[in-house]
C-alpha cells in the first residue's frame, strides 16, 4: 500500500513546488510592471493600466523620447498624445488626451490616417539612434501632421516632472526585473531614464 501512496505523494509535492514557482514568477512580473508604471506618462494617480496597456504605453513612450532626442524637436501636445496612444484602448487614449489637454476626437481622427506599422518599419530594433532617423522623412518617422518646434527641456509633456529624464545606469534600472538581477542587453542601449 505504501508503494502506491509514494508516487501520488511525489506527484502532489511536484505540483505544489511548480505552483509555488509559478506564483513567485507572477509576483515578480507584477512587481516589475508596477515599477514600469511609475515611469510612463499615466502613473498610479490615474486608473491602473492592464499589463498589456502598460507595455504598449512604455513602448510608445520610449519611441517618442527616442524621436525627441534624435531630432531635437518637440512635438505639439496633439502629436505627442497621438504617438503615445498608438495601439492603446479607447479608455487609455481618453486618459492620455485628458492628461495632455487634447480633445479625444482629434486623436481618433489622427489615428485613422496613421498606422502603427509605419512607425515600426522605420525604427529597427537594435539600430543606433543616429542611423535610425538619418534617412527617414518626417512622415515616416511618426506623424504626418508633425510641425517642427525647438525642443524645450522644461516641457510639460514629460510626465511626473518638469525636466528631461535623468540618465541612470541600465543595470540599476532593471535590477529587480528578474530574481537574479539579469538583464538581456542584446540591443546595447546604454542608459535608462528616471525622473528625478
Instruction: Tell me how crowded residue 186 is: count the other CB atoms within 10 A of its CB.
Output: 8
> Do 100 and 157 touch, CB atoms closer than 8 A?
yes
Enter the pTM of the model. 0.54
Q: Using one digit for the tens of pLDDT, what is the confidence trace for 11-57?
A: 999 999 999 999 999 999 999 999 999 898 887 666 788 999 999 99
Q: Going along 20-109, which residue ranges are E strands? A: none
Give percent above pLDDT 90 in the chain: 32
Where are the chain's structural domains?
38-159
137 or 34: whose pLDDT is higher?
A: 34
Residue partners of 79: CB distance under 8 A and separation at least 6: 142, 143, 145, 146, 147
Instruction: Tell me how crowded residue 64 is: count the other CB atoms within 10 A of its CB.
Output: 22
- Cα–Cα distance for residue pair 44/50, rounded to 1 Å: 12
What does R_g of the chain's alpha carbons equal in angstroms?
21
Q: Using one digit for the tens of pLDDT, what is the confidence trace for 65-103?
A: 999 999 999 999 899 999 999 999 888 888 888 888 888
Amino acid at each position: 500500500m505504501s508503494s502506491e501512496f509514494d508516487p501520488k505523494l511525489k506527484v502532489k509535492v511536484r505540483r505544489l513546488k511548480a505552483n509555488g514557482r509559478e506564483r513567485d514568477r507572477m509576483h515578480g512580473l507584477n512587481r516589475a510592471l508596477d515599477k514600469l508604471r511609475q515611469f510612463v506618462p499615466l502613473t498610479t494617480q490615474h486608473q491602473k493600466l492592464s499589463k498589456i496597456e502598460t507595455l504598449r504605453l512604455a513602448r510608445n513612450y520610449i519611441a517618442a523620447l527616442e524621436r525627441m532626442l534624435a531630432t531635437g524637436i518637440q512635438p505639439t501636445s496633439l502629436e505627442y498624445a497621438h504617438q503615445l496612444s498608438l495601439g492603446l484602448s479607447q479608455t487609455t487614449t481618453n486618459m492620455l488626451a485628458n492628461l495632455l489637454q487634447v480633445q479625444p476626437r482629434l486623436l481618433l481622427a489622427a489615428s485613422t490616417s496613421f498606422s502603427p506599422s509605419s512607425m515600426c518599419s522605420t525604427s529597427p530594433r537594435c539600430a543606433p539612434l543616429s542611423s535610425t532617423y538619418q534617412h527617414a522623412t518626417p512622415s515616416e518617422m511618426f506623424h504626418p501632421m508633425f510641425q517642427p518646434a525647438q525642443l524645450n527641456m522644461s516641457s510639460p509633456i514629460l510626465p511626473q516632472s518638469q525636466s528631461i529624464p535623468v540618465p541612470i545606469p541600465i543595470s540599476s534600472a532593471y535590477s529587480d526585473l528578474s530574481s537574479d538581477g539579469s538583464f538581456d542587453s542584446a540591443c546595447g542601449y546604454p542608459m535608462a531614464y528616471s525622473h528625478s
